Structure 1
Amino acid sequence: MKKLFYILLGVSLLSSCDMELDQQPISAATSETFFQTAHDFNQGLNAVYAVTRGYPDRLLNLSETRSDNLYAVSDGGVRDWEGINSFHRTIASNPYVVDAWQSNYTGIFRANNYLEQLQNKGEAVITDQAVRNRMEGEVRFLRAFFYFDLLRYFGKLPIIDKVVSNNEAMEIPRSAPADVYSLIISDLERAIETLPAPSGYATADKGRANKFSAKMLLGLVYMTRSGPALDVEGAGLGSNEWSKALAQFNDIIQSNEFAFLNSYSSIFNYDNERNKEVIFNIEYSSGSTPIVGSTFPWVLVPDTWFQSLGFGTQGGLMIRPVAEDLLAKYVDEDVRKSFSIQNGYTYGNVVEPRSFIKKFVDITKVPKTSRTDWPINFIVYRYTDLLLLKAECILNGAAGNQATEVDAVVNQVRARAGLTTTLSGVTKAQLLEERRRELVGEGTRWFDLIRSGQVETIMKAWIAKEDVQNQMEDFKKEYILYPVPQSELDTKPGLYQQNPGY
C-alpha cells in the first residue's frame, strides 16, 4: 500500500524552524522564496505533518510511563523515564519534557508560517479553492493537535497564532487554558468545515487529517475541558460539555466511515493499516533514505528480549515493567493481555520474570538495519476508543441509554477480548478500568485518570501498593502537570513562571 511520505520532509524542508523561542523563526526570506508552486505548498504541508513523527514516543514516555500501568523504576543507573515514572520534582530539564514543548512549538511555528503563505500566495498558485480550503483545514487540525498536546502536559501556554519575529516571541507570556482552548476549538471548527471524509481522499492521501479526525479531537477537547480543575491550572475546567462531545462522536458513528473490528489483533496488524477502526493515524514507511519509519514499537521493550530472539540491540534499553496492579485486572482468557503484554522471558541463563508491553511489535517485521525504521503506523484515534468515550459522556449526564449505549458497548468490547461474562449498570469506575485494559500501551491512561478526577486518589493508593522498591516520590496534585522546561525559563527570565511543585 502506498503511504504518505510526509515524514521525510521533516528531515530537510524548512529545517531552519527552531524549537526554542530565542531562535529565528522560519518566517523570513526562506519562506518568501520557497512557496512558489503548488508542489511547494504540498511539501510545506508535509513538513507540518512531519513534526508528528515523535508523538507516539511522547505518549509512551509521558503518559503511559507516568500512569499506573507501568512500575518503571530503574534497576540501576539513571534513566530518563525514571523521573517521569517516580514523580521527581527535578525534571524541568528532562529530555522527554523538553521535547514535548519544543517539538509541538516547532509544529505550531510551521503551521503559522504555512497559513500565512497560503493566505498571501495560495490563490495565485493553487487555483482550486476546494484544494486550498482542504490544505488550510489540515494545517488548522494539526495546529490544534499540537496545542492540545501541550495543554494537557503543561497547562498555561504562550499563544502564538501567527508568524512573529524573535523579539515579538520573547514578549508573549503564558495564557490561561481557557484562552488556549478558544484557539483550539476555532481551528477545529474551521477544519471540520473544510476537510473531506476519508472516502473523499485518493488512496495515496487517505492517511491525512479528515473531517472526522477533527470531530474526534474536538469531542475529546470538550471532554477534557469538562473534567474537574483539580486545583491546578491545567486542561480540566469543569465546563460540563459532555453533550457537545457526544454530538461530535455521534456524527462520526453516523458517517458509517468506520467500524468495530471483530478481532483485537487485526486492529494493529502491520498488513492491515488504515483499517476501519482507524479514525486518524500517524504514517510511517520503512526502507527509505533518510529513515522515515517509526520508533515507538521498541520504546517499552527491553533490548535483552530482542536479543533473546536472535535480533540485535533495538534501543529499548532496560525493562519498564507492567504494574502488578494492572496485570491483576486481566482474567486469563482476555486476549488483550496476551497480545499486548509479554509475560517474562529468558535471556541467556537469566530469567526475567517481569512483564512488559509489546503491543506494537511483530517479530517478523523487526527492522534489519535500524531500530528507528519500523514499518507500522501509530493509531492516534480509533473507533473503539470513540465508543467508550461516548459511553463516558453518557455516564456524565449527556443524553443516552445506559443499556444500549453504555452496557452494550462495554460488553461488545469485552466479548471481542474473549470474555463471556456480561455487565449491567456499568459505572464510571468500571468503564475507566475497561478502557485501561483495552487501550493499554496506547498512551491514554494518564489523561483518563486526570479527566476522571480520580488521579490523585488512584495514584496515591497505587504507589503505596506497587512501590516495593521504595523509589517513588509521594504523589501531589501539582504533578498532574509537567514543569515548563528550564531552557524556556532561562530564555527570558521572568517571562514564564514555573508550574507549582517543581
Structure 2
Amino acid sequence: MQKITILLLTFCWFSSCEDDLNLTPISEVGSNGFFSSAGDFQQAVNGVYASLGVSGGGDYPAMYVILDESRSDNIYSPGDAGVRDWNAINNFEPTIATLGSIDRAWNLNFNAIMRANTVLDQLAENAGVIGDADLATHFEAEAKFLRAFFYFDLVKWYGRVPLIETFVSPDEALEIPRAPVEDVYALILSDLEFAMNNLPESYSGSERGRATSLAAKAILARVYLTRSGPELHPDGPCLASGEYDLAAAMLDDIINSNQFAMLDDYGAIFSYTNEGNSEIVWDVQFISGGVGAGGYYPTEYYDEGWARVYLPFPGGNPGDGAKRVSDDLLNSFPEGDLRVEHTFKLNYINDNGEEVDAQFFDKYTDEDMAGGDRFDWSLNYPIMRYTDVLLLRAECTLQGTSGSQADVDAAVNAVRRRAGLEEVSDVDLGKLLEERRREFAGENLRWDDLVRTGTVLEVMNAFIATEDANNKMQTVTVEDIIYPIPQQQLDVKQGLYEQNPGY
C-alpha cells in the first residue's frame, strides 16, 4: 500500500528540524512566494505531519517510549551505570531537567506547533490562491488537529506552557510566558472541534494516515477524560472537570460510525502486512527505504545483544541500560493469555550460543521486515485503536455516564475472549485498568492511564516497594506527575519561566 509517509517524512520543512525554536526560515516563506498554490499548501501541511517522524527532529513514538512507558510500572530500568535518559526517568530522579529527552520532547512539539501556525497564518492571508474554499478549510482543519495534538502532549508532560497561536520570531518567543493549563486546553478544544466538523470520516489510497473527523473525536475524548481526572498537581493535566459525558459522546460517535471493528487475532493488529486494519482509528505512517521515512521506535525497546544475532544492523538498548519489562507486568498476565507471545521477547540465544534471560517488548519488531538500519522500521504506529475506544467508553460508564455494568463487562470480555481468557463480571475501575495494562502493554498508554485516573501515586509506589531490587527508584510524589521545564529553556532568558516544583 502506498503511504502518505513518502511525502511527509522526506520533507524536512524549512530547516526546522533543529532542536531549538530558531524558526526564522519559516517567517520568510510568505515573502518569497512559497504559498502560491494549493500544492504549496498541501506540502506545508505535509510538513506538519513530518514532525511525527525521524526527519521532523526526532521520532514521536520513540519519544513516548522514554517519557511514558519507561516512566510507568511496565518497565523496570534502573540502569547499571545510570547514564541513560530513561534510567533517570524510570528512577524518578529530580535532576532530569538537563536530559536530552526532556528537551527534545519540548522542541519537537513546539516546532510542530510553529509549522501548524505558519500554515494557519498563510491560510488567513493567502487562501485565495488555493482556488477552492472547501480545500482551504480542509487544510485549516488538518493544521488545527495537529496543533491541538501536539499541545495536548505539552500539557500532559509540562503543565503550563507558552500559548502560541501564530508564528512568532525567536525574539518574540522570548516574551511569551507560560499560560495556565486551562487556557491551553481552551485552544486544544477549539482546534479539535473545528477539525471534527471539517474533516472526512475516512480516506483511501495514499491519503490514508491523514487526520479524520473520527480521529479528532478520539483525541477529543482523551482530552475530556484527562481534564476530568482528579486534580492532584495544581499545574497538571487533570482538572477534575467532570466531562465524562462529553467524552462518552465522542466515543459513541466513533462506535456508531461502523468504520472500525476488533480483529479476532491480536497479533494481526501489529502485522507489517496488515497495516490500516479495522482496529486502527489513527496511526503514524512509516515506510522503509525512504530517506527519513522509516521509524526508530521499535529500536527503543529491544536489547542490542539480541540485535547482534537477529538483525542485519546494530542498535538497541545496551546491557547497562536495558528497558526490561517489569516482573510486575509479566506476572499480571493470566496463564494462557495469547497476548504474551505477541508482546514480549522473554529469552533468546546470543552470539555465544548462550540463552539470555531477556524481558523486552517486541510487539513492533519483526526481524524478517527489518529495513536498512535501526531508523528504518516500516510499521505504522497506532495512536488510537478501536479496542481503546471501547475500553475508554467503559471507563466513562464507570465514571457515571450512560451505560450499565453489563456494558462495561461486555467491553472487557470482548478483549479477554480474544486473549483466550475466561469472562469476568462486575468489572470496576481497578480491574479495567489492569485489563488496559495488559491489552496496551508497550503501546505507551500506561502512564497516562495512571495519571488520568488519579491512581498514579498509589500504583507506582506499591510497584517500587516490590520491584526495585536495586534500590534506585525514588518515592513518587505529586510533583512527578509532570516533567521539569527543560533547563535549556530556562537558560535562554532568565526569569521567563519558573521551574516546575520538585526539580
In 1, Cα distance between equivalents of 2:73 and 2:453: 14
How big is the shift at 1:131?
A: 1.2
Query: Residue 104 and residue 154 in structure 1: after superposition, are their counterparts in 2 closer, same or farther (change >3 A)?
Result: same
Contact 1:194 1:211 in 2 (8 A): yes
How big is the shift at 1:75?
A: 3.0
Task: Tell me what 2:280 maps to.
Answer: 278
Task: Tell me what 1:223 maps to.
Answer: 225
Task: Tell me what 1:113 maps to.
Answer: 118
Task: Tell me what 2:467 maps to.
Answer: 466
The TM-score normalised by the length of structure 2 is: 0.95
Structure 1: 5+ residue stretches without partners:
none
SS of 2:107 mapped into structure 1: helix
How big is the shift at 1:498?
A: 0.3
SS of 1:279 mapped into structure 2: strand
Q: Which amino acid aligns with 1:144?
A: A
Task: Tell me what 2:145 maps to.
Answer: 141
Task: Tell me what 2:436 maps to.
Answer: 435
Task: Tell me what 1:48 maps to.
Answer: 48
Contact 1:297 1:358 in 2 (8 A): yes
* Deviation string, structure 1 residues 436-477 (Cα, Å, up to 9, x no partner): 000000000000001111101111111011000111122222
Select 1:208's aligned residue among 207, 210, 214: 210
Contact 1:26 1:113 in 2 (8 A): no
How big is the shift at 1:10?
A: 5.8
Contact 1:19 1:105 in 2 (8 A): no
Structure 2 residue 135 is matched with structure 1 residue 131: yes
Q: How does 1:21-32 map to 2 (within 5 A)?
A: 21=21, 23-32=22-31
SS of 2:473 mapped into structure 1: coil
Structure 2: 5+ residue stretches without partners:
54-58
SS of 2:96 mapped into structure 1: coil
Select 2:105's aligned residue among 100, 103, 107: 100
Task: Tell me what 1:332 maps to.
Answer: 335
Q: Which amino acid aligns with 2:169?
A: S
How big is the shift at 1:132?
A: 1.2
Query: Residue 152 and residue 237 in structure 1: after superposition, are their counterparts in 2 closer, same or farther (change >3 A)?
Result: same
Q: Which amino acid aligns with 1:232?
A: P
Q: Which amino acid aligns with 1:171?
A: E
SS of 2:283 mapped into structure 1: strand
How big is the shift at 1:77?
A: 5.4
How big is the shift at 1:388?
A: 0.3
* Deviation string, structure 1 residues 323-345 (Cα, Å, up to 9, x no partner): 11111100221111111011122
How big is the shift at 1:351?
A: 3.6
Q: Which amino acid aligns with 1:274?
A: G
In 1, Cα distance between equivalents of 2:23 and 2:338: 51
Contact 1:293 1:375 in 2 (8 A): yes
How big is the shift at 1:26?
A: 4.2
Identity of aligned residues (%): 43
SS of 1:65 mapped into structure 2: helix
In 1, Cα distance between equivalents of 2:399 and 2:255: 19
Structure 2 residue 90 is matched with structure 1 residue 80: no
Contact 1:140 1:190 in 2 (8 A): yes
In 2, Cα distance between equivalents of 1:7 and 1:90: 39
In 2, Cα distance between equivalents of 1:36 and 1:263: 48
Structure 2 residue 183 is matched with structure 1 residue 196: no
How big is the shift at 1:62?
A: 0.5
* Deviation string, structure 1 residues 101-127 (Cα, Å, up to 9, x no partner): 00000000000001011121122x211
Q: Which moved more, 1:166-175 or 1:4-13?
A: 4-13
Contact 2:224 2:243 in 1 (8 A): yes
Contact 2:10 2:293 in 1 (8 A): no
The RMSD of aligned alpha carbons is: 1.5
In 2, Cα distance between equivalents of 1:31 and 1:268: 41
Contact 2:38 2:131 in 1 (8 A): no
Task: Tell me what 1:251 maps to.
Answer: 253
The alignment covers a number of residue pairs equal to 494
Q: Which amino acid aligns with 1:469?
A: N
Contact 1:70 1:321 in 2 (8 A): yes
Task: Tell me what 1:157 maps to.
Answer: 161
Q: How does 1:102-501 map to 2 (within 5 A)?
A: 102-123=107-128, 125-198=129-202, 201-288=203-290, 290-309=291-310, 311-318=312-319, 319-347=322-350, 348-367=352-371, 369-403=372-406, 405-419=407-421, 421-501=422-502
Contact 1:92 1:486 in 2 (8 A): yes
* Deviation string, structure 1 residues 360-384 (Cα, Å, up to 9, x no partner): 00121012x2110111110100100
Q: Which moved more, 1:307-316 or 1:291-300?
A: 307-316
Q: Which moved more, 1:175-184 or 1:7-16?
A: 7-16
* Deviation string, structure 1 residues 470-499 (Cα, Å, up to 9, x no partner): 111222221111000001001111110000
In 2, Cα distance between equivalents of 1:328 and 1:313: 31
* Deviation string, structure 1 residues 219-259 (Cα, Å, up to 9, x no partner): 10000000011133110000010000000000011111111
Q: Which moved more, 1:354-363 or 1:492-501?
A: 354-363
Q: Which amino acid aligns with 2:416?
A: R
Query: Residue 111 and residue 10 in structure 1: after superposition, are their counterparts in 2 closer, same or farther (change >3 A)?
Result: farther
* Deviation string, structure 1 residues 113-162 (Cα, Å, up to 9, x no partner): 01011121122x21122211111111100000000011100100110011
Contact 2:65 2:444 in 1 (8 A): yes
Contact 1:17 1:26 in 2 (8 A): no
